[in-house]
Amino acid sequence: MIDKTGLFDYHETMKKIELVKIFKALSSEQRLNIFIMLYNWNQTTSDATADCFCSEEGVEKCFTKACDCMDLSRSTISHHFKELENAGLITCTRIGQSSVCKVNMDAVKAIREFLE
């Protein structure tokens, strides 16, 4: 900490900007829903009740599933996924027609560490 407030250190500032992005991404109920959904799916890769394909690599068909679950247009869903991705909370790669999404546990760790 180089000043009274601890607000002006360069690395701290960088970290803070990342954190703001992460918090902003989770500050919409819709996006938090999506995030929790992916988080759960990622953790239950062998869940027979989920009608999406869950592999070690991530979750397929998540866009369509997300649309079904939360009554938003395809394009809005796309925007939300993109924001979660920009914040570093998830990674999406395309396999065939559908996107394979995965929660980035490093980002989750970053928030946790901030709060300690």
Partner DNA sequence: TTTATTGTTCCATAATAATCGAACTTTAAC
Partner DNA sequence: GTTAAAGTTCGATTATTATGGAACAATAAA
Could you list the residues that contact DNA (CB under 7 A)? 24, 27-28, 30-31, 60-64, 71-76, 78-83, 92, 94, 96-99
Question: Which of DNA, a second copy, none does residue 33 bind to, with CB < 5 to 8 Å depending on kind?
Answer: a second copy
14 binds a second copy (CB under 8 A): no
Residue 19 found at the interface with a second copy (CB under 8 A): yes
**CA–CA separation, 72 and 70 (whole Å):** 6
Centre a 10 Å sphere on the Cβ of residue 22 and count the other Cβ atoms it contains.
19
Q: Which of 42, 53, 70, 98 binds a second copy (CB under 8 A)?
A: 70
Characterize 28-55 residue by residue with b for buried, 16 or more Cβ atoms within 10 angstroms of its Cβ, and e for exposed.
Answer: eeebeebbebbeebbeeeeeeebebbbe
Q: Which residue has the tokens 């809005």?
A: 76
How many helices (H) and strands (E) the chain has is answered by 5, 4
Query: CB-wise, 60 or 107, nearer to DNA?
Result: 60
Interface with a second copy (CB under 8 A): 1, 4-7, 16-17, 19-20, 23-24, 26-29, 32-33, 36-37, 40, 49-51, 65, 69-70, 108, 111-112, 115-116
